[in-house]
């Protein structure tokens, strides 16, 4: 199957994700529309943060395109099972919230759906709102201490203290 009208910047995202699917294309549209919207008011020293409310294929496109990643701590997953995506700028929290409209998918087939998502106007696809949100503190480096049971170093904020000892979470659960 071929999609001659595919935007060329979609290919590296497909390579990253491993396959082409409607979810990935949806994430592509979220990142495009969202970044466009807030880059207009972006200043040099602000950092982009992405908040996703599901863990579908869409979030891979968003990580790839925004550069917000789980490892850097500027990619936040809220397990709400909703196609809602917020992009915001640190430190002030000015951003945009995109929520997939409920009745957009008229197409049943996978390929048709992909084409539909790519061709729809972003305002037909999403409810787009400018928002101002409270952002969590930037990720900090914490010291590690060895677990009293397994001896493996554990970030101090994740140690559980009991009877003068401190345990990693898996060891504590086995006590």
Binding residues for Zn ion (CB under 5 A): 21, 24, 57, 147, 149-150, 168, 171
Q: Reduced to 3 states, what is the DSSP secondary structure of residue 42?
A: coil
Query: Looking at beta carbons only, is 66 or 97 nearer to Zn ion?
Result: 66
How many of the other CB atoms lie within 10 Å of CB of 27? 28
Query: Looking at beta carbons only, is 57 or 88 nearer to Zn ion?
Result: 57
Query: Looking at beta carbons only, is 84 or 147 nearer to Zn ion?
Result: 147
The least CB distance from residue 117 to Zn ion, in Å, is 13
The least CB distance from residue 171 to Zn ion, in Å, is 3
The least CB distance from residue 23 to Zn ion, in Å, is 5
Query: Looking at beta carbons only, is 97 or 166 nearer to Zn ion?
Result: 166
DSSP 99-147: EE-TT-----SHHHHHHHHHHS-HHHHEEEEEEE-PPPPPP----EEE-
DSSP structure class, residue 68? -
The least CB distance from residue 103 to Zn ion, in Å, is 22
d(CA 146, CA 95): 40
Q: Which residue has the tokens 């061709």?
A: 119
């Amino acid at each position: 199957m071929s999609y001659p009208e595919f935007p060329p910047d979609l290919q590296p995202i497909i390579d990253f994700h491993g396959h082409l699917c409607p979810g990935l294309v949806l994430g592509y549209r979220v990142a495009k529309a969202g970044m466009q919207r807030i880059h207009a008011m972006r200043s040099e020293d602000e950092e982009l943060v992405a908040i996703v409310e599901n863990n579908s294929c869409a979030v891979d496109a968003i990580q790839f395109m925004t550069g917000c990643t789980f490892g850097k701590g500027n990619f936040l997953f809220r397990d709400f099972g909703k196609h809602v995506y917020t992009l915001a700028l640190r430190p002030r929290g000015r951003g945009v919230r995109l929520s997939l409209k409920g009745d957009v998918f008229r197409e049943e087939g996978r390929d048709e759906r992909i084409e539909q998502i790519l061709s729809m106007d972003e305002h037909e696809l999403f409810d787009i709102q400018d928002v101002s949100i409270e952002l969590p503190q930037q990720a900090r480096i914490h010291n590690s201490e060895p677990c009293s049971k397994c001896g493996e170093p554990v970030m101090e904020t994740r140690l559980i203290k009991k009877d003068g000892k401190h345990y990693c979470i898996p060891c504590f659960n086995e006590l």
